[in-house]
């Protein structure tokens, strides 16, 4: 189903040693702290064991202890599901009037889907594989949205037969498919956005211009579908809180236009964009909630529509750590004196978002505290594209050698699902949820 399934099956190879064992990484674990009291009511479903690092995106204490005692394949992603639950509850507290549709593509691990389903989450799905995954975990079909605007007609028909009634679109041809095999379904149109301020901007692959969106919503009504509302996405890892208001300014104009055409839109799907904390600080989840609430109030006043948000990275990113190993440390000669550090994880093993050095992960090593020098970071494959960071200023300990461990922080999102099946014969990224 997912490219990462073989990697997740690697959990059968995992063994755990005594929980009292101590290693250097365990000693580096931050002091656990409790979730902030102002969210206590909303966090009732979060187990007491949810331990947060001293700083957002740092090494989670429970993962540090697990890494100290577990015999893992390398590389391997470890996700603390309690932190996933904490992040979900914090977002729910920040946006109490919104329905949260977790973006399954960010990390479809069974443990994550099960935990979020138990907390009442809805789910944004991109394929029948993701829909079936959610249904297997007992998620009612009315809590699913088929949010991909590019769907096979037979997949739309299958989703409809299994009870899904909400579909995204951005073209007339897609509308016609939905009308043929999913009659009377709720549909929402995706509108193009500029994505300024996003570290992982979205291309023009998804969405249409606002004028076209208005015509498509009218076309949806004429085809017997229910033109439910408007969707947008301000870009993944969005760090500019004003972008939500800019998107809503455009959205309310479209709402007004549809009212003039006799169509009553009732939904704003605000997509994702909620960030993880990588090398630079990002606003808190609460700050995003406040910005969105204020923007909705300013643009819609008391007549606010149904609101959906589709977090992925912001829910699972900070909850995961990849344990990797140094394969080689070398130099190239000439004027470039930087060391090349090759890891056993690269672009084809879950770090695809290092493309163009867009997402800059934080690293920690077993030699932290030693003298450092500039490095180029690369993966292990025989592909020249498998360079992680060459332009960004990364420095690692001079004492780092082959066989040493390197931990890549905040890698819970878009890693296992971006892992190749067997490029160069390397297995997909293994993962375990704790």
Residue 330: give its domain's CATH number: 2.40.37.10
Could you tell me the residue range of the domain that residue 323 belongs to? 1-81+319-434
User: Are 128 and 268 contained in the same domain?
Assistant: yes
pLDDT value of position 37 = 34
- 433 in active site: no
User: Are 312 and 434 contained in the same domain?
Assistant: no
Whole-angstrom distance, CA of residue 321 vs CA of residue 28: 14
pLDDT value of position 242 = 87
pLDDT value of position 236 = 67
- Burial (Cβ within 10 Å: 0-12, 13-18, ≥19) of residue 390: middle
C-beta separation of 327 from 380 below 8 A: yes
User: Are 239 and 260 contained in the same domain?
Assistant: yes
**Cβ-Cβ contacts under 8 Å for 48 (sequence gap 6 or more):** none
Report the Cα 128 to chain-centroid distance in Å.
19
User: Are 302 and 343 contained in the same domain?
Assistant: no
Whole-angstrom distance, CA of residue 149 vs CA of residue 206: 7
Tally of domains in the chain: 2
CA distances from 33 to 30, 91, 137, 336 (A): 9, 19, 31, 44
Q: Which three-class secondary structure string do you get for the chain?
A: CCCCHHHHHHHHHCEECCCCCCCHHHHCCCCCECCCHHHCCCCCCCCCCCCECCCCCCCCHHHHHHHHHEECCCCEEEECHHHHHHHHHHHHHHCCCEEEEEEHHHCCCHHHHHHHHHCCCEEEECCHHHHHHHHHCCCCHHHEEECCCCCCHHHHHHHHHCCCCEEEECCHHHHHHHHHHCCCCEEEEEECCCCCCEEECCCCCCCECHHHHHHHHHHHHHCCCEEEEEECCCCEEECCCCHHHHHHHHHHHHHHHHHHCCCCCCEEECCCCCCCCCCCCCCCHHHHHHHHHHHHHHHHCCCCCEEEECCCHHHHHHHEEEEEEEEEEECCCCCCCCEEEEECCCCCECCHHHHHHCCCCCEEECCCCCCEEEEEEECCCCCCCCEEEEEEEEEEECCCCCCCEEEEECCCCCCHHHECCCHHHCCCCEEEEC
User: Are 137 and 231 contained in the same domain?
Assistant: yes
User: Are 169 and 252 contained in the same domain?
Assistant: yes
Q: Which of 122, 134, 195, 382 is catalytic?
A: 382
Residue 155: give its domain's CATH number: 3.20.20.10
Q: Which of 317, 350, 375 is the last residue of a domain?
A: 317
User: Are 370 and 339 contained in the same domain?
Assistant: yes
pLDDT value of position 23 = 35
Q: Which of 282, 317, 352 is the last residue of a domain?
A: 317
C-beta separation of 67 from 323 below 8 A: yes
Whole-angstrom distance, CA of residue 230 vs CA of residue 199: 24
Whole-angstrom distance, CA of residue 146 vs CA of residue 190: 12
Q: Which of 287, 317, 347 is the last residue of a domain?
A: 317
User: Are 112 and 245 contained in the same domain?
Assistant: yes
Instruction: Give me the tens of pLDDT residue by residue for the chain, a chain 434 residues long.
Output: 334 443 444 443 343 333 333 333 333 333 333 333 333 333 344 445 689 999 999 999 999 999 999 999 999 999 999 999 999 999 999 999 999 999 999 999 999 999 999 999 999 999 999 999 999 999 999 999 999 999 999 999 999 999 999 999 999 999 999 999 999 999 999 998 764 654 545 556 677 999 999 999 999 999 999 999 999 988 767 778 888 899 999 999 999 999 999 999 999 999 988 889 999 888 999 999 999 999 999 999 999 999 999 999 999 999 999 999 999 999 999 999 999 999 999 999 999 999 999 999 999 999 999 999 999 999 999 999 999 999 999 999 999 999 999 999 999 999 999 998 889 999 999 999 99
User: Are 191 and 97 contained in the same domain?
Assistant: yes
User: Are 62 and 161 contained in the same domain?
Assistant: no
pLDDT value of position 193 = 73
pLDDT value of position 349 = 93
User: Are 59 and 37 contained in the same domain?
Assistant: yes
User: Are 344 and 419 contained in the same domain?
Assistant: yes
pLDDT value of position 418 = 92
């Amino acid at each position: 189903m997912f490219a990462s399934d073989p990697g997740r099956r690697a959990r059968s190879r995992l063994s755990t040693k005594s929980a009292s064992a101590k290693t250097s990484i365990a000693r580096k674990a931050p002091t656990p702290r409790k979730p902030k009291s102002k969210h206590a009511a909303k966090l009732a479903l979060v187990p007491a064991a949810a331990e947060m690092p001293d700083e957002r995106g740092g090494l989670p204490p429970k993962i540090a202890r697990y890494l100290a005692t577990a015999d893992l394949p390398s590389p391997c992603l470890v996700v603390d599901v309690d932190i996933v639950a904490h992040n979900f509850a914090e977002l729910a507290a920040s946006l109490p009037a919104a329905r949260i549709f977790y973006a399954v593509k960010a990390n479809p691990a069974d443990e994550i889907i099960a935990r979020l389903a138990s907390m009442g989450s809805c789910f944004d799905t991109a394929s029948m594989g993701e829909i079936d995954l959610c249904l297997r975990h007992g998620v009612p079909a009315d809590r699913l949205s088929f949010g991909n605007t590019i769907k096979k007609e037979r997949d739309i028909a299958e989703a409809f037969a299994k009870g899904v009634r909400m579909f995204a679109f951005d073209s007339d041809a897609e509308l016609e498919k939905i009308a043929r095999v999913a009659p009377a379904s709720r549909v929402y149109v995706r509108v193009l956005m500029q994505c300024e301020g996003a570290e992982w901007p979205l291309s023009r692959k998804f969405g249409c211009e606002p004028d076209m969106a208005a015509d498509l919503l009218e076309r949806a009504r004429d085809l017997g579908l229910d033109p439910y509302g408007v969707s947008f996405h301000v870009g993944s890892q969005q760090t500019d809180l004003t972008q939500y208001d800019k998107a809503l300014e455009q959205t309310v104009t479209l709402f007004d236009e549809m009212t003039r055409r006799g169509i009553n839109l009732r939904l704003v799907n605000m997509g994702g964009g909620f960030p993880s904390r990588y090398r630079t600080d990002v606003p808190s989840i609460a700050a995003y909630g406040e910005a969105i609430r204020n923007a909705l109030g300013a643009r819609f006043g008391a007549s606010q529509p149904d609101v959906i948000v589709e977090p992925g990275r912001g829910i699972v990113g900070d909850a995961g750590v990849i344990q990797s190993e140094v394969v080689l440390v070398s130099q190239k000669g000439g004027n470039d004196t930087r060391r090349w550090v090759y890891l056993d994880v690269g672009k084809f093993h879950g770090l695809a978002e290092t493309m163009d050095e867009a997402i800059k992960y934080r690293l920690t090593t077993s030699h932290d505290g030693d003298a450092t020098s500039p490095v180029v970071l690369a993966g292990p494959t025989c592909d020249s594209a498998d360079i992680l960071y060459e332009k960004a200023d990364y420095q690692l300990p001079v004492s780092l050698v082959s066989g040493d461990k390197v931990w890549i922080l905040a890698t819970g999102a878009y890693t296992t699902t971006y892992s190749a099946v067997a490029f160069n014969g390397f297995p997909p990224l293994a993962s375990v949820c704790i």
